[in-house]
Amino acid sequence: MSRSAISLENLTVSYDRHPAVHHLTGGFAAGSLTAVVGPNGAGKSTLLKAIAGLLKPDEGRIACGAEIAYLPQVAEIDREFPIAVADFVAAGAWSRCGGFRALRVDVGAALGRVGLESFAARGIGTLSGGQFQRMRFARLILQDAPVILLDEPFAAIDARTVADLMRLIGAWQAAGKTVVAVLHELDLVRAAFPETLLLMREAVAWGPTRAVLTPERLAAMRESAMRFDDDPEICTLGGAA
């Protein structure tokens, strides 16, 4: 049996005691590539933030013994911040190198892997959507963490960039890294992600993608999403809401 890189036990994460993730138990195997899918408001981003340590669980436990690299949604990044591409990418090595030693890491090689080798001196505000996301992936390369969390990494970017970044994700998995990605593109999930968690605050299904994304289950999810409660009942810790 594969060991878990991330284990969740009875995890509940709430906002003002209204559950976003509710009594979730399971694990992401080391070296696995997993998509997290579900309707808007289903707790997908909340789950990643909790695993990354940005949100404190109301109940339950998260176990992850490895360093985590977390890519938030692009809307959470200030694209007008006055910083050069090379400096933004170099900051990815800060935790490993510390201080100004981060300036000595091979930023050029990371930018080369995402096709931005000639963009090092440009301000991040000058980049297109696809270029901006390539830059953020270059920063993940320098973080070199064994666990990588990606929140909607392909939102509003071009098909060529998606293909290039998917090749990078595949290389990460081949190197033994554990990758968890929140996605809405179900065709991409079916084609490239062996494992899927279908989340609607609770786990509807979790396992091999082909077994999770069945036509019947997706039809039920779409029907449920139409009446999905954006203001769930207050969670009573230790039991169902």
Each residue's pLDDT tens digit, 79-93: 889 999 999 999 888
Beta bridge partners of 58: none
Query: What pTM, to 2 d.p., does this model score?
Result: 0.90
Tokens for 202? 């609770």
For 199, list phi and psi in degrees, rounded to 5. -115, 130
**What are the boundaries of each domain within the chain?**
1-66+147-158+178-241
Q: Scanning the structure block, which residue is given the tokens 């979730």?
A: 24
For 139, list phi and psi in degrees, rounded to 5. -65, -40
Q: Scanning the structure block, which residue is given the tokens 């039809």?
A: 219
CATH top-level class for 1-66+147-158+178-241?
A: alpha beta
Tell me what the pLDDT averaged over the chain comes to. 89
10 Å CB burial of residue 159 (0-12, 13-18, 19+) is exposed
Each residue's pLDDT tens digit, 103-133: 555 899 999 999 999 999 999 999 999 999 9
Evaluate whether 204 touches 214 at the Cβ level (below 8 Å).
Answer: no
